[in-house]
Amino acid sequence: MSDVLILNGRLVDPANGMDVERDLLLRHGRVAAVEKPGELRAIKGKEILDAKGMIVAPGLVDVHVHLREPGQTYKESIKTGTTAAAAGGFTSVVAMPNTVPVNDSVAGLEWMLDAARGAVVKLFAMPAATFGSMGEEITDYHELQRAGAVGFTDDGKPVLHDRVMRAALVAAAGIGVPISQHAEDTRLTGGCSMNAGPVAFRLGLRGMTVEAESKIVERDIRLLRDIERHDGLRPHLHVQHVSTAKAMSLIRTAKADGLHVTCEVAPHHFALTEEAVGEYNTNAKMNPPLRNDADRLAMIDGLMDGTVDCIATDHAPHALFEKEQEFERAPNGITGLETALGLALRVLHQGRGMSISRVIELMSAQPAGIVSLEGRGALSVGSFADVVIFDPAAEWSFAVKDSRSKSRNTPFDGASMLGRVMATISDGRVVFKG
């Protein structure tokens, strides 16, 4: 592994409060030096990256991706999914457990995290919160954490039983990791394929109500209060892909009350509304669904006021033949790793005035903190050498034909983006050059 010298860039490192011109030296997979321009030029035997006019930032961290391996590698593999991540500026990703079989055992977790899978960036994982993600009995959290788990989730299959969710929160609190919950009361969403509203009515589709999301968030917050009061523990609830104003309000109140609640918002939920479904466009079908504009604006408000802790893609690749069928039968999910930064900069920075530093914080330091990735999400001396270099002024359009993912299921083909990734460095290795 050769030294990498990054020169002439604008270092934006929110974790260290830096937004200033600096040169970086990366050595043996770590940040070896951060110095004023010109002070590192005499170092020999290194790869030099000229970042003039570019932003140099901590590598992005995504706490919510689906990589489909094992069992569905016709959609995506760990190698192709992490290659797409690198192209999007991500240097760490957290894989969800809804593989085939479900990742609910030490053997399965170790297999997934093995270097033989060919991950291009750093791969972490959240195994299933319950065996088989069936919501009946929690998995062995202690053993799974020792094998590398950074949290637990039944993503896509919410834990509905109060008794089981309470046990999950208590067990996770005991070892200091989050329970990451897909907030959907599936007893209210059977046969539903998009948001309940005028578009669903026009298309003749059954819609998911706001209450299907908010009721689970409300129940989980109530369990947190009960556990703190009666067990003396402080569980960490992480609410995945929040999509409704009502759920956001509940989370905001819980935070104000001092409960340990974090949450994420996906780029599609702050960039699009249910109108993107158009005439049964399955590439705009996901769960939770695209909502109305009031909900979209509530997601932006949550990002702007600090209620939202991070941006996460919910990258969910599907094969073309799966999406090319009746809307109600097509699977939920879109790809997102290559479009997240461009959408965040266009919608939040350019559109709403969020600082670039805050955008980077929502996509690096804060998600790293949610799952306790020590040494990542910052560019301190000694930190892992995870870096993204991007042109903040570059305006471009995403072309799905050029995607590094195996799948092409995105509503953002041809969409305008701001900020082009020029290089991604993971653990000191240059894994992408634009």
- Catalytic, out of 23, 154, 295, 314: 314
β-pair type (3-13, 18-27): antiparallel
Torsion of the alpha carbons at 68, 73, 76 and 78, rounded to the nearest 10: 70
What token pair was written down for 163?
């008794």
Closest CA to 88 of 374, 327, 412, 357: 412
Rounded-to-integer distance, Cα 416 and Cα 393, Å: 13
Question: Does residue 402 carry a catalytic annotation?
Answer: no
* CA diameter of the chain: 68
Torsion of the alpha carbons at 166, 168, 173 and 179, rounded to the nearest 10: -110
Cβ-based neighbours of 74, under 8 Å, separated by 6 or more: 319, 406
Residue 175: count other Cβ atoms within 10 Å of its Cβ: 13
3-state secondary structure of 322: helix
φ, ψ of residue 221 in degrees (nearest 5): -65, -40
As to burial, measured by CB atoms within 10 angstroms (0-12 exposed, 13-18 middle, 19+ buried), residue 395 is middle
Rounded-to-integer distance, Cα 426 and Cα 123, Å: 11
In terms of DSSP H, where are the helices of 138-280? 141-146, 162-175, 198-203, 210-231, 245-256, 267-271
What token pair was written down for 429?
């290795």
Are 95 and 102 a contacting pair, CB within 8 Å?
Answer: no
Are 331 and 323 a contacting pair, CB within 8 Å?
Answer: yes
- Which residues are annotated as catalytic? 314
